[in-house]
Amino acid sequence: MKRFRLRNVTPFTLDGWPLDAFDQETIVELRKLSDQTGWTLADVMRKMANEYMAKVRAETELKTKIIWLPINAHLRSPLAQR
């Protein structure tokens, strides 16, 4: 389903976070989480965004740290020939 935005309507934001992309179920879950933690809804959204970005950065860095070895390298090692 294609979403249309009217030019004369400003999307609802909360502390700079656009909320028009979330469905009601997600907003309710975020609100429950904010009630449990004692944080504001904007704080919960900021924390979740920071955790997501940290996860993406870690996964990206991990790809550069992996040393790819040839599949048959273990067959050519001196220990494997004993």
| CA 55 to chain CA centroid, nearest Å | 7
pLDDT in tens, the chain (82 residues): 566 666 777 777 888 887 877 888 988 998 999 999 999 988 998 999 999 999 999 988 887 877 766 776 556 655 555 5
Q: Which pLDDT score, from 0 to 100, does residue 56 have? A: 94
Please answer whether residues 12 and 19 qualify as being in contact, where contact means their C-beta atoms are separated by less than 8 angstroms: yes
Q: What predicted TM-score, i.e. pTM, was given to this entire model?
A: 0.58
Burial of 44 per CB tally in 10 Å (0-12, 13-18, 19+):
buried
Q: Which pLDDT score, from 0 to 100, does residue 27 have? A: 87
45 C-beta neighbours (distance < 10 Å), count: 20
